[in-house]
Amino acid sequence: MIKSNLRNFPSAQKRREFLEQELDIKLDKISGFNFPEEQVLGRNIENLIGSTQLPLGVAGPLLIRPGGVKAHLRGVLRYIPLATTEGALVASVSRGCKAIAESGGAEVFVEEVGITRGPVFKVKNLKGGLETKKWIDDHFPDIAKITEQTSNHLTLKKIGCRLVGRNLFARFYYDCQEAMGMNMVTIATQQAIELIEKQTKAKCISVAGNFDIDKNSAWLNFISGRGKRVWAEVILPKSAVKEVLKTTPQKLAEIVYRKCLLGSIMSGSLGFNAHFANIVAAIFAATGQDLAHTVEGSLGITTAEVLDNGNLHFSVYLPSLVAGTIGGGTSLPTQQEALKLMKVNGVLEYAAVTSTAVLAGELSLLASEAEGSLAKAHQQLGRNQKLKVKSKEVF
């Protein structure tokens, strides 16, 4: 029998005391948190009992050239907050940052694709589905108007429809300015659904019909993009590859081809990279993003080519980076400090710094594998805490 409803307790302390008594345990460490209960209850979490902590490290400095982001990024060194329990990750990203800085910096391009919501409608037949699709296409301005009335920070960019059997899927793309915006677009799309149902014979079965595609790994997000689409590249002189990364351009290019491309094909992976998710998850945890969007952030391609002069062109492509710099967990105290540490002015710069951190992480890990030092690095930095090994000795 359930003795008590956790929602009925007036505070985190009372709820925690009940659990301690009920389970005969102590929750002393969980009890500490540095945010007001009223700030998070009903907004970020339910049944609050405390907080959990992750070690927070900083990688860098990272140098980004202007490229496709705002010019005031020129010459500014960035530091990357990484919340993780994986030993060697921060040291590895820092080594990649050093290689990038000594090569003149990375160039980054960011494109606003839009956050998506993808309802599914039940239609009478194929003809009815095509007629509904045509109505949506012909009345885009009317749909945009009604969705944009729900928020001053939201713009409907486009709608893409697909029909299969008696099911019409509609993928709405929104620009939510600095917010990630999933709650905003759900509310806006619901208003669009009511208009579509009123004007057609279609019946919405779900506001989220997995055509979004939200917090799932899918080719649609890979091909069409979601959130921000980001490219980052660096040209590394042979000397930087040798002195910082302890390998050669040829070995790095070969391991990218055989591991990231062929290995991913053989395994049916949607991520043609070494470990995008590692860096994305650590930055997301530090800065208050929705951690489930690491799924989309894991998609992407790493490429490497040896140029005619022997230098190395190295790049990453992230087609679906879903993040924001306001709203959600970004407003919590420690997450706010982590965002300030990154010195980003808005979500486009956040995407630029995150993708360049991914570039650094890919460079260092793949170089370690090419050199054959990956196991040694994790043994010394990730396992044996008694060995006081400087990161430069391994990475």
Our CA dihedral for 196, 202, 205, 207, rounded to 10 degrees, sits at: -20
Q: Does the annotation mark 233 as catalytic?
A: no
DSSP line for 322-377: ---SBSGGGGSHHHHHHHHHHT--SHHHHHHHHHHHHHHHHHHHHHHHHHT-HHHH
Tokens of 156: 């409907």
10 versus 136: which is more confidently predicted?
136
Instruction: Give the type of residue at 166.
Output: R
CA torsion through residues 344, 347, 353, 357, sign: positive
pLDDT at 391: 42
Name, in order, each residue with C-beta under 8 angstroms of 223's C-beta and a sequence gap of 6 or more. 319
Span 198-204, average pLDDT: 97
Name, in order, each residue with C-beta under 8 angstroms of 100's C-beta and a sequence gap of 6 or more. 62, 63, 106, 234, 236, 356, 359, 360, 363
- Rounded CA-CA distance 242/233 in Å is 18
| pLDDT, mean over the chain | 92
Contact criterion met (CB below 8 Å) for 21 and 43: no
Contact criterion met (CB below 8 Å) for 112 and 176: no
Pairing status of strand 167-175 against strand 56-65: unpaired
SS3 33: coil
**Residues 137-160: pLDDT tens digits?**
999 999 999 999 999 999 999 999
Q: Which of 214, 233, 275, 378 is catalytic?
A: 378
Half-sphere exposure of 371 (CA within 13 A, CB side): 22
Tokens of 290: 């929705």
Nearest to 321 by CA among 234, 225, 233: 225
Angle, alpha carbons 363-365-371 (nearest 5°): 100
225 versus 377: which is more confidently predicted?
225
Tokens of 162: 């697909």
Q: Which of 86, 111, 148, 305 is catalytic?
A: 86
Least reliable range by pLDDT among 256-270, 323-337, 347-361, 368-382: 368-382
Per-residue DSSP letter, 186: H
320 burial (CB, 10 Å; 0-12 / 13-18 / 19+) is: buried
**Residues 18-73: pLDDT tens digits?**
999 999 999 999 998 888 888 898 789 999 999 999 999 999 999 998 655 554 45
User: What domains lie within the chain, and their CATH numbers?
Assistant: 9-53 (no CATH), 56-112+227-393 (3.90.770.10), 119-206 (3.30.70.420)
CA torsion through residues 229, 235, 238, 241, sign: negative
pLDDT at 8: 87
Task: Kindly report the backbone phi and psi dihedral angles of residue 59, in degrees, each rounded to the nearest multiple of 5, phi listed first.
Answer: -110, 155
Cis peptide before 80 (omega within 30 of 0): no
pLDDT at 389: 42
- Rounded CA-CA distance 85/324 in Å is 24
E strand spans, the chain: 56-65, 77-83, 106-117, 120-122, 155-164, 167-175, 203-206, 227-236, 271-272, 300-306, 312-321
142 burial (CB, 10 Å; 0-12 / 13-18 / 19+) is: middle
Q: Does the annotation mark 86 as catalytic?
A: yes
Contact criterion met (CB below 8 Å) for 280 and 232: no
Tokens of 216: 């799932």
pLDDT at 187 over 80: yes
pLDDT at 310: 97
Q: Which of 178, 290, 305, 369 is catalytic?
A: 290
Q: Does the annotation mark 290 as catalytic?
A: yes
Our CA dihedral for 94, 250, 268, 299, rounded to 10 degrees, sits at: 40
**Residues 203-233: pLDDT tens digits?**
999 999 999 999 999 999 999 999 999 999 9
C-alpha 105: how far from its chain's center? 22
Q: Residue 16 — pLDDT band, cuts 50, 70, 90?
A: very high
Per-residue DSSP letter, 72: G
pLDDT at 358 over 60: yes
